[in-house]
Amino acid sequence: MSWDLATPFIIDLRVAADDIDGLGHANNAVYVTWLERCAWRHSQRLGLDLAEYRRLDRAMAVVRHEIDYLAAAYEDDELQLATWIVDWDQRLKMTRRFQLVRPSDGTTLLRAQTTFVCIELSTGRPKRMPAEFIDGYGPALMAGAL
């Protein structure tokens, strides 16, 4: 597979009938769901699951999505979605990149970038990342990838 960056975290996806809109392809809102699923699974792999977020009273909340839809996905397509953490300030903000590929023909269907801000769950307000976030997300940072 030809990924935009080295060492991606990858999830496998299959386009379901419910993902298809009136135009006969995967609806653009479904792609956003896939981005969230991929980011969340990556966080879990890094040891930062929902239980840990609750324990720490912190979470990474989306503040911006930038999505380039490059080609359509169709029912039963088998896809792979990759993510990389490409930037963070070790205080409040973190940025991920994504690439969605259809392995059967090597087509990149989507490229996206999402910006997250660390929030305190109990108040919903921005709050500095705890040490556990630094330790968990830090090793996954792709230096110079923006």
Q: Residue ranges per domain, the chain?
A: 7-138
| Nearest in space to 106 (alpha carbons), one of 86, 83, 77 | 77
Phi, psi of 76 (to 5 degrees): 75, 0
84-126 pLDDT, tens digit each: 999 999 999 999 999 999 999 999 999 999 999 999 999 999 9
28-86 pLDDT, tens digit each: 999 999 999 999 999 999 999 999 999 999 999 999 999 999 999 999 999 999 999 99
Q: How far apart are CA 102 and CA 50, in angstroms?
A: 30
Burial of residue 132, with CB atoms counted within 10 A of its CB: 0-12 exposed, 13-18 middle, 19 or more buried:
middle
For domain 7-138, give its CATH number from 3.30.470.20, 2.60.120.580, 3.30.980.10, 3.10.129.10.
3.10.129.10
Give the number of C-alpha atoms closer than 13 A to the C-alpha of residue 50, restricted to the C-beta side.
Answer: 3
| Full-model pTM | 0.94
Q: What does the pLDDT read at residue 145?
A: 56
DSSP state of 26: B
Is residue 81 a contact partner of residue 39, using CB atoms and an 8 Å limit? no
